[in-house]
Structure 1
């Protein structure tokens, strides 16, 4: 895992101006009923933490990472045993790369993308190469994203979006109703992260298939490393 921000290797494409649109609660609410209860979710383009907060409020454990903090989801992922589903609002200029990456990782996923995405030839080629169909959660109205430069000052949503999914919906196409927005001033910052305990470390070591005779010994070594500078449970999961 890289602990530094990687060099820029992904040139901006058309739509790059929408790469930092924070997702309000009403944007993810239609998806929540289709996420498995208690699913551990990797939010791989977390940005300011909005989407991760809504997922946590719905009862999910969330690993929230972002390219800006050194975790490029197109080349890195958490241990497969540490998460069940990928849910994110992708950078729109990189939507095709993220679709391909999620298919490659093999977990169920839900990506918030422009409405036109599943009709694009590039997206269809990626789907056909993967040999696995996607599902579409079609929203009945536009999402009023929070933009980094203007917040909610422009209350007209920028574009129509869709949740493109794999392994989550019970039908290929489902129409969903977007609820009324709720006051976004509730979100000041994501809830504080919990520091890991030694029990967390023992469970983490045991989950990696280390022989029972060696779990405690390895846990002691990892615990010492945690005390020196790995402050949160989420970061422990990023090993």
Structure 2
């Protein structure tokens, strides 16, 4: 896959000023993660403990890979999209603690509430837990996110060397070449060292 060289439709979406892609915004901002994006991270040796919570599980694209690798996964989402062995739960509102106790969290959060997902995840996990969020690389920017980074910087950011595509409403048959730079952002609760950039 070659690097993206740009086109007339995608500049605004890449800059992130607003949603300018063709078609309607997916319900609940649902863009499914390609399983290879999870496999490549795990194959690179990313730390992830046995028990994992996926709080925006969709149809199970992340969950299925984790279960294939032997992880015990709690899968939840704000709506039921057919993920096996999942339950409906609003990650931002409906609970006071992680349903599995001491867990790591891995998810591709809705873009509109990505910051809230990160803050909520760091609130509910225990010290030393891993929080993995698949985010646009430009999540590194912004005043509100800077305030987060001042108190809870990522331990590392794993950047995809090639542009990838997340599937609108989970339909990979309709996806085209990726225009967005994605990365896995990794927090370790109570981590206070400098952030390291890594590449996939």
Whole-Å separation in 2 of the counterparts to 1:95 and 1:112: 9
Match of 1:67 in 2: 78
Match for residue 142 of structure 1?
Answer: 163
Alpha-carbon distance in 2 for matches of 1:150, 1:57: 21
- 1:155 maps to which residue? 176
Conserved? CA contact 2:57–2:75, under 8 Å = yes
Q: Tell me, yes or no, if structure 1 residue 173 matches structure 2 residue 192.
A: no
Cα distance in 2 for residues equivalent to 1:171 and 1:27:
25
Distance (whole Å) between structure 2 residues aligned to residue 61 and residue 80 of structure 1: 10
Q: Tell me, which stretches of 5 or more residues in structure 2 are unaligned? A: 1-16, 81-87
Corresponding residue number in structure 1 for 2:41 = 31
CA distance in 2, matches of 1:46, 1:141: 24
Q: Which moved more, 1:87-96 or 1:151-160?
A: 151-160
1:40 aligns with 2:51: yes
Select which of 126, 132, 156 maps to 2:152.
132
Query: Which structure: larger Rg?
Result: 1
Are the structure 2 counterparts of residues 46 and 23 from structure 1 closer, same or farther at C-alpha, using a change threshold of 3 Å? same
Write 1 or 2 for the structure with the bigger share of strand: 2
Deviations 1:191-214 (A, max 9, x none): xxxxxxxxxxxxxxxxxxxxxxxx
Cα distance per residue 1:151-204 (max 9 Å; x no partner) = 333331241111111129998223322xxxxxxxxxxxxxxxxxxxxxxxxxxx
Q: TM-score, normalised by structure 2?
A: 0.70
TM-score under structure 1 length normalisation: 0.59
Question: Aligned residue pairs: how many?
Answer: 161
- Give 4+ residue runs of structure 1 displaced > 4 Å after superposition: 13-16, 168-171
Matched position secondary structure for 1:63 = strand
Structure 1 residues not aligned, in runs of 5+: 1-12, 178-239
Q: Is the 8 A contact 2:32 2:170 kept in 1?
A: no
Q: Is the 1:145–1:152 contact (alpha carbons within 8 Å) kept by the matching residues of 2?
A: no
Q: Which has the higher helix share?
A: 1
Residue 49 (structure 1) aligned with residue 60 (structure 2): yes
Q: Give the aligned partner of residue 105 of structure 1.
A: 124
User: 1:183-202 alignment to 2 at 5 Å?
Assistant: none
Distance 2:182 2:58 in 1: 18
What SS does structure 2 have at the residue aligned with 1:68?
coil
